[in-house]
Amino acid sequence: MRKLIKRRFPLTQAIFLVGLAVLILNFMYYRSIARKDLLLTLEEKQSVLEKKLLSLESLVKHQRESDRDLLHRLRLANPLTYLPKGNKDSYLPILVLACNRVSVNIALDKLLQYRPSAEKFPIIVSQDCGHQETADVIKKYIHLHNITFIKQPDLSDIAVPAVHSKLVNYYKVSRHYKWALEQVFMVFNFSAVVIVEDDIEVAPDFYEYFSTLRPLLHNDSNLWCVSAWNDNGMNEKVSDEAALLYRTDFFPGLGWMLERDLWLELRSTWPITFWDDWMRHPDQRKGRQCLRPEISRTKTFGAKGVSNGAFYDKYLQHIKLNTEFVPFSKLDLSYLNKDVYNTSYTQKVYSLPLLSAADIASNQRPEEKAVRVEYKDKPGFVSIAKQFGIMEDFKSGVPRMGYNGIVSFVANARRVYLAPESPWKGYNISWN
C-alpha cells in the first residue's frame, strides 16, 4: 500500500502542478485581455474627450462672435454708450453728417488724428440715406475709436413741388439736419455742437479754434455761430496770417458751431428745404453775426454732392486749408468784441487809400499794402468781384463774408477791402 501511495503521489502532485499552471496561464491570459480592453477603452475615451474639447472650442468661438455681434447691435440701439454722462457743458461734440460717401473715412481719420481729447470732443456720426457700404465703413470706427453712430430713421420719399423735382435731395438734407440736431440737443442734452459733413477735412488746430471761440459765442448775444470757413479763402486770396479772425454778417456753414439756445429758437420753424439760405434770411439772422477765419479750418474734398459739381471746380477745390497750429487760447481776441470790432474795423477800412479795380490790376501805388475799392450797387459789386475772382453772389442782400457790406481778400499780394460807399445804408434784401 505504501509503495502504491508513493507512486500515486508524484502523479497527483504533477496533475496538481499542471492544473495550477493552467489556472495561472488562464488568469494571466484573461488579465492581459482585460488590460487590452482597458487600454482600448482609455484610448477611445481620450479620442472622445479630444472631440468634445474641439467642439467646446468651436462653441466658445461662436459664442464670442455672437457676443460681439450682440454688443454691436446694443451699441447701435443705445448710441449713448460712448457719450459722457452728467453735465455736458464742458464737452464739445463733433456731429458728422453722412449719407452715401464711403470716403467718410477720410473725414473721420482727420478728426481723430487732431483730436486732443476723446472725452472732451466726442464724435457722433449721423447717417441718412440708408447706404449700407457707407454704414459698414462707419461701423469700423465704433469699436476702434468709440465713435457714436446714429441713423436717421425716416428714409421715406418726400413729396416736392414739380419745380423742385430735381432738388429733392435738398429736402432730405434739411430733414436730416433737423433730426440730427434734435438728437444732439434734445436727446443727448449737449449745450453746443460743431457740425461737419462727410466730405470735410479739418485743420490741425480745428479743435483749438472752436474750443477757444466757444466762450465768445456764448457771451456775445450778437453772435450766433462760429464757422471754420472762408468763402473767399482761395490760395491767392488770403494772406499768411493764420491767426487772423473776423466777424461776418454772412452765415458760412461748412464746419460751424451753434449753441443749444439757438436750436431751441430755430427748431419749431426749421425749413423743409434749403436750410442754409433760410438761416441767412433776416427773419432768422436778426442782425447777428458769425466769427470766421482768414484761412479756412475746413476743406471739402467732395466734388460730387447735392450742391457741388461746377461750383467745386471753380471755387471749393482752391480753398486753402490751414496747416499751421495756432494757439488761439493763448491769444488776445478782445478785438473781436462787437463794439470794439465795429468801430475799429470800419474806421480802418474807410481810412485806407481808395483805388479802382483797374489800379490794383496794374499794380498802382504798390507801396500801399492795404487799400479800399468801392462799389455803389449790386452790378458794381458783381463786376469787381469777377475781376478779382472772388465770390460774386449775395444771400438776402449780404455778400459772402461781408461785414457791414465790406468784403476782405488779397489781390496782387496786398489787402483789398471791397466796401460800399460811405455812409453805408444797410443791406438790400432784394440783392439776391
Q: Which residues are catalytic?
A: 276
Q: Are 414 and 368 in contact (CB under 8 A)?
A: yes
Nearest to 100 by CA among 133, 124, 139: 133
| 3-state SS, residue 196 | strand
Q: Are 215 and 251 in contact (CB under 8 A)?
A: no
Alpha-carbon gap, residue 378 to 420, rounded angstroms: 10
Alpha-carbon gap, residue 188 to 176, rounded angstroms: 16
Q: Are 417 and 372 in contact (CB under 8 A)?
A: yes
221 contact partners, CB below 8 Å, separation of at least 6? 288
Alpha-carbon gap, residue 63 to 273, rounded angstroms: 47
Q: Are 208 and 326 in contact (CB under 8 A)?
A: yes
- Helical packing angle, 132-145 and 104-114, nearest 10°: 20
Residue 275 cell numbers, joined: 436750410
Alpha-carbon gap, residue 195 to 290, rounded angstroms: 14
Task: Kindly tell me the burial class for residue 59, based on how many C-beta atoms sit within 10 Å of its own C-beta (0-12, 13-18, 19 or more).
Answer: exposed
431 Cα distance to chain centroid: 34
Alpha-carbon gap, residue 54 to 9, rounded angstroms: 66
Rg for the chain, CA atoms, rounded: 39
97 contact partners, CB below 8 Å, separation of at least 6? 126, 128, 176, 177, 180, 195, 196, 197, 198
153 contact partners, CB below 8 Å, separation of at least 6? 179
Alpha-carbon gap, residue 316 to 76, rounded angstroms: 34
Sign of the torsion formed by the C-alpha atoms of 264, 176, 255 and 191 = positive
11 Cα distance to chain centroid: 108
Maximum C-alpha span of the chain: 164
